[in-house]
Structure 1
């Protein structure tokens, strides 16, 4: 492994990017995490055992990669940027590299082949979609330790009744217990993003809160109702042609006047089951 550039030194990272002729791409969310303490927190939160295989999405220059390779039985990285992918191959030899957009990768296949942990500084523009896509995989990972925008972390971890509670909280919450581990200042990145970030831990539930047979109805219902989050649930369902609305809501333990943001996952699940 090349030790030429220290990936936690702003000076070294700038010099390396200049050597590669590379300017961070805002569209790809390229803000390189250079704080050693935060990188250690992400790696440690993943609780990687030597017998486990790990997935990293958007490794960039490899600051997190170099921390998780020694802890694991194998690391697979997905990198979209050809310049970053080329550099990673010169810095590391003992890893598997997929040169692709993460949204185009068959995640189910990767997890079915034995990857059980995800540790990543996710590309912010696709973080929400990636977390839901991974959560919905049949062979979903046991644990994910991720850096995402603080605003997205708030939505991911919000309980029912919280102003941030919504589709992301509910869909991922079916499969994972989500917790905010650490807030991250923009100064921990190069270049600094305009927003705060956060490390989150997603711990897989032993049993999903919604059965696979009900989940398609559940997802459609949740997405539709949260698109009108300030309306009463009874009114939303009536407009969908659901009848008898109040009887069905009563059976699900939901009041006609409740709003989507106050309904916990358990009650959404019961409602979806009754509507299915």
Structure 2
């Protein structure tokens, strides 16, 4: 008879391996070719959901000027969510003592958040009614100057630099731009501000979501890559911050908004090109004839024989097309980092 104590316990049955969790696939509006941008976007998109209500103060401000309906021609879509304004200010790292350029203050909801953060604000508003409204709303502070002007025709250096010199009592050498832009002037404003790395350290803007994604995430290998992407990466380091649901605006636009940050470069950080003007002329010509050979598209810059000689020296066929040639050019000048 075998003693029970001599029986060894049966080895435990291995537990079944847990099922592999399904991989989360982001919806199309937050997909990106950049891991850094994808992480930032998925982490902050929740912060842009409707929260603190600024609706009543916005409506009161409009009614006080007899402006019951914002003007579509001026791209007026006012922010109703104070939380979004706070996130916008935080994205720019605004702190006490900063000098900030705000474009299109509207009813002053973002202006209020900037002033609360301790900034001194230089606001440029095209609509004379809204400019007067913002002046009246914050008339008791000496940290705000409102100019009634079209920003696309406004000479920033001649007006803003004296203001900055007067108001900046610290060792800060650069100002910041924080704006909830009218969507219809976004590209013009980006082209205006990004080459001003000697004045501004960072530009944080509210744009259409599609525009923000294209500026921050478009890869040189994708059809979405345009001359504006070359321009943006030449002068700055763009970063998509977060998406803002269209229901946060009044009136409600057809598309969502998004906040994008541009960290501006100094002149010594620009890619080493002989002349930025000539470089962008070459880029625009290449994009205008993507399927043409470079020696044909760039004839207005130099002769076909000169182009062929350069292509031969770098080991490329003289029949190379603009699309592939542009990829190599931008890669060699450091514009393919996003």
Distance change (3 Å), C-alpha of 1:108 and 1:86? same
How many residues are treated as equivalent by the alignment?
264
1:50-91 superposed Cα distances (whole Å, 9 cap, x missing partner): 232110000100111101113244110000101101110111
Match of 1:14 in 2: 59
Q: Which runs of 4+ in 1 moved over 3 A?
A: 109-115, 210-213, 229-235, 238-242, 249-255, 260-270
Aligned match for 2:252, one of 176, 185, 192: 192
Distance 1:73 1:253 in 2: 54
Distance 2:75 2:315 in 1: 42
Which of these two proteins has the greater Rg computed from alpha carbons?
A: 2
CA contact (8 A) 2:287 2:322 kept: no
- TM-score w.r.t. the length of structure 1 is 0.84
CA displacement at 1:251 relative to structure 2:
5.5
Distance change (3 Å), C-alpha of 1:125 and 1:8? same
Q: Structure 1: which 5+ residue stretches go unaligned?
A: 1-6, 271-276
1:154-208 superposed Cα distances (whole Å, 9 cap, x missing partner): 2321232233221211112111100111112211100011122210010122443
Distance change (3 Å), C-alpha of 1:8 and 1:55? farther
Distance 1:250 1:137 in 2: 37
CA contact (8 A) 1:160 1:263 kept: no
1:66-145, aligned counterparts within 5 Å? 66-93=112-139, 94=141, 95-110=144-159, 112-113=161-162, 114=164, 116-137=175-196, 139-145=198-204
1:1-276, aligned counterparts within 5 Å? 8-22=53-67, 23-93=69-139, 94=141, 95-110=144-159, 112-113=161-162, 114=164, 116-137=175-196, 139-157=198-216, 158-206=218-266, 207-210=268-271, 214-237=275-298, 241-249=303-311, 256-257=320-321, 259=323, 262-263=327-328, 265-267=330-332
CA contact (8 A) 2:125 2:151 kept: yes
> Superposition RMSD on alpha carbons, in Å?
2.8
